[in-house]
Every structure is written in structure tokens, then in C-alpha cells.
Amino acid sequence: MSLDPQKIRADFPILHQQVNGKPLVYLDNGATSQKPRAVIDALVRYYERDNSNVHRGLHALSMRATDGYEGARARVAKFINAADPAEVIFTRGTTESINVVARSWGHAHLKPGDVVLTTEFEHHSNLIPWQQAARAAGATLKFVPLLGVDGEGGPDLAALDTLLTPQVKLFAFTHVSNTLGTINPVAEFCRRARAVGAVTVIDAAQSIGHMPFDVQQIGCDFVAFSGHKMCGPTGIGVLYGRRALLEKLAPDETGGGIVVSVTYQDATWKPAPERFEAGTPNVADAIALGTACDYLDAVGREAIAAHDDQLARYAMDKLSALPGIRIIGPRAGSPRSGLVSFAFEHVHAHDVVTFANEDGIALRGGHHCNQPLMRKLGLASTSRASFYLYNTEEEIDRLAKSLERILKFFAG
Ligand code: PMP
């Protein structure tokens, strides 16, 4: 099934505007995606018709809100093929989801001498929580090396064999790198981790809305992702956890809504997912996230992945023709996600982004929350074009023209 970006663009009101007198070209999807009308309507409908607090009410609006919220949980469970909706915990996003695991699981299981394994190309959100958890427990943090001067070789799989010892209690890795575009072999990582008894955590922020994702097929223990990068609202995300693991974990945040019984001195917890959702949850955004799942599944994530791949190949082809460009991540022709990071020797990424903005193009420039990786690559920053289902080859042509203009300006 192929995808018609022109037809899809009609569903996204924000795309139909001019920026600096030029039609907007939105190529900052790695930071956040745009929202289709159906998702915006779901938010408005909820606040106009159903808004109420969930779980604790017996009136009509509260029951509708509760049905909507729990329906969204079941919808997300189906989106990732979780065995049970109780394995889906709503959070604020990827960052909070990873922190919940690092604090709850880390506190319960990590001991001095243990190893937490991750990779050299994690987003800060999948690095700093493990630094904190390892430090608190007296455990050690180790890294799967990244191969190649431009990170083009991907993770060092031979080193992974050596690193995955029985001391490794947890292996946390990204599915898709937000800076390199590398797609990690997540099922293989999970299989190898399981062989030494390590728990796995997948940062799926950049992948979940872009390609099929089946937690049972992948065989992972925890998965973190954000609604806003998959056509859903900001402020809502998911922590998937295998039920057997969630049941043994204490909540990292406590308060109303998570308890069976409370005395002046103590409290007992409800089972997951409620145990991990203290306080009034983000009902409206959870419901709209369910709508985003409907939208993406109607288009088809296989088709979105094929479209991303086609755009990435087209962009690699166009951009590699520019003089002095250094493209980071997998080489042209190799599989990569729908994003391309690049750097010019004599033009700073912030100038690239500023010039592109003059041409109506939204790019991102900076360290992309990957400071250690930038240092390893010997770069201060890169510019990044990241694509999604509504982007077209014509937009990449406009990007290439804009970059030519920038290079001319700085050469002149
Ligand atoms: N991990 C990766 C790979 C990301 O790209 C991002 C967002 N840039 C995050 C984690 C953090 O996501 P959020 O800010 O939505 O929590």
C-alpha cells in the first residue's frame, strides 16, 4: 500500500500557511509532528461534551470520560500489540516514561557491581536517568560503541556480545536515533539481552509513529514513547511494561488514585496501570492519542515507513551533491529513518536554520540532546531535516535550493 502525501496534507490544517511569504515546508518532525484535524477535533469534542474527572465519578460525564480514557488505553495497547491494556501506563511522554523505569525498577533491582548497558548514541532522556539510577545504586554504566567516523557503521554488534555479561541487569537503547537516523535491530538486542537475564528498555520516541511496532514480536520488557511525535497531542506519552514486571514494582510517584487502602501510617497499591498514574490523569490528551493511533493505522505504518525511506533516500541523493556537506549516520542507500543530519565546515547549523526559515522551511539545528555523541563525532551541532507522512520530494527540492543559497552567501 503506498501513501499519497498530497491527500494526507489536506488532513493537517497547520501545513496550509505561508512563512516569510513562502508556503511552509515543515521538516522538524523529529522534534514534534503536526496534528491531523481528527486529533484536534477529538480534543475539542472532549472539552465541549465529556470533560469530567475519571474513575471516581458515577455521573454521566464522568462515566463518558472514564470510558474514553480506558478506551484510549485499549486502543494504544492494540497499536503496539500489548497482550493486556493494563500494560499501558499513560505518562507525560518518553522522558517521564524512562524516568519511571529508572526510578522504580532501578531502586528495586540495581545493586553495587551491577551494570546498566546503553549505547553511545542515546538522547539525553535515555542517558541521564540511567546515570542517576546507576549512581544511586553504586552500579556501573557501560556503552555499546558506535562505529564509523560519521556514525555510519551503527552499533558495534561484536562489542555487544562482549558487553552483555550476566552483570548487565538492564539494557536501554533507542529504536531510531534522533540524530543519526540509525534504525537499531531491537528484536535482536532484546533476544541477546534476555539470554543474559537483562531487562530491556526501548526508547521508541522516533519510531512508534513511523513503522510497525509489535511489543510481543520484539520481545521487550519496557517501551517509552511520546504522543506528540506520532500525530497526537503534547503532554501525553506511554510507558509499556510487561505485566509480570509491573506487578512487582512500587510506584515512583504516590498520591490519590493509586491506592486500595490508606491508613495514617501506610498505603497499599492498586495493580498496574493505576499504580503508576497518581493524581488526575491527562484524560483529553490520552483520548486524542487514541485518535492519532486510529489515524496512523488507517494510513498504515508500513506505508509510512516506506514513504519515510523514499524521502530519506531522495534527500541523501540531493544533499550529498552540495559542496562541503558532511552527512551523519548511515550512508546513502543504507536503511535509515526519515531524517537526515548534516553539517557544513564553514556554516554554523544555526545559520542554516535561520536561512532556511527565511525560505519558509522549518529545520532544527543544535546538539539534538545528544551532547556526548556530538563530541564523539567532533561536531558542535548539526542541522536536521526530519520527514513524515505529509512531506514530499518537492519540499526536499526546496530545502536543497535553500541550502545552495546559504552556501553561496557564505562563500561570497
Ligand atoms: N528519545 C528520543 C530518541 C527523542 O528523539 C526524544 C525527543 N526529541 C526523546 C527521547 C524525548 O521525548 P519527549 O521530549 O517527548 O519526552
Same domain assignment for residues 389 and 242: no
- The residue out of 260, 283, 298 marking a domain boundary is 298
Q: In this structure, is residue 272 part of a structural domain?
A: yes
Same domain assignment for residues 263 and 382: no
> Ligand 1 in contact with 94 (CB < 6 A)?
yes
Supply φ then ψ for residue 222, to 5 degrees.
Answer: -130, 145
- Give the C-alpha separation, 396 to 406, whole Å: 15
Total domains in the fold of the chain: 2
Same domain assignment for residues 311 and 286: no
Report the pLDDT value the prediction gives residue 1, as an integer from 0 to 100.
59
- Give the C-alpha separation, 311 to 194, whole Å: 35
Same domain assignment for residues 206 and 344: no
Supply φ then ψ for residue 269, to 5 degrees.
Answer: -95, 145
Same domain assignment for residues 14 and 154: no
Same domain assignment for residues 225 and 364: no
Same domain assignment for residues 319 and 378: yes
Q: In this structure, is residue 373 part of a structural domain?
A: yes
Q: Which atom of ligand 1 is nearest to the CA of 94?
A: 16
Same domain assignment for residues 124 and 189: yes
Which domain range does residue 21 map to? 5-30+301-411
- Give the C-alpha separation, 247 to 89, whole Å: 12
Ligand 1 centroid from CA 111, angstroms: 28
- The residue out of 298, 316, 347 marking a domain boundary is 298
HSE (CB half, 13 Å, CA atoms) of 61?
Answer: 11
- Of 100, 171, 97, the closest CA to residue 139 belongs to 171
Tell me whether residue 369 is one of the annotated catalytic residues: yes
Q: What is the CATH number of the domain that holds 360?
A: 3.90.1150.10
- The residue out of 270, 298, 326 marking a domain boundary is 298
Q: In this structure, is residue 122 part of a structural domain?
A: yes
- Give the C-alpha separation, 355 to 361, whole Å: 9
Ligand 1 centroid from CA 55, angstroms: 30
Report the pLDDT value the prediction gives residue 320, as an integer from 0 to 100.
96
Same domain assignment for residues 56 and 17: no
Ligand 1 centroid from CA 177, angstroms: 10
Ligand 1 centroid from CA 94, angstroms: 6
> Ligand 1 in contact with 206 (CB < 6 A)?
yes
Q: What is the CATH number of the domain that holds 134?
A: 3.40.640.10
Cα 404 vs. chain centroid, distance in angstroms? 31
Same domain assignment for residues 262 and 327: no
- Give the C-alpha separation, 175 to 209, whole Å: 12
Using most ligand atoms within 8 A of CB, pick from 29, 91, 94 the residue to mutate for ligand 1. Answer: 94
Q: In this structure, is residue 35 part of a structural domain?
A: no
Q: Which atom of ligand 1 is nearest to the CA of 174?
A: 3
Amino acid identity of residue 229, one-letter, is K
Same domain assignment for residues 226 and 336: no
Q: Flag residues of the chain having pLDDT under 50.
A: none
> Ligand 1 in contact with 205 (CB < 6 A)?
yes
Q: Which atom of ligand 1 is nearest to the CA of 125?
A: 10
> Ligand 1 in contact with 93 (CB < 6 A)?
yes
Same domain assignment for residues 17 and 51: no
Q: In this structure, is residue 51 part of a structural domain?
A: yes
Q: In this structure, is residue 276 part of a structural domain?
A: yes
Q: Which atom of ligand 1 is nearest to the CA of 226?
A: 15
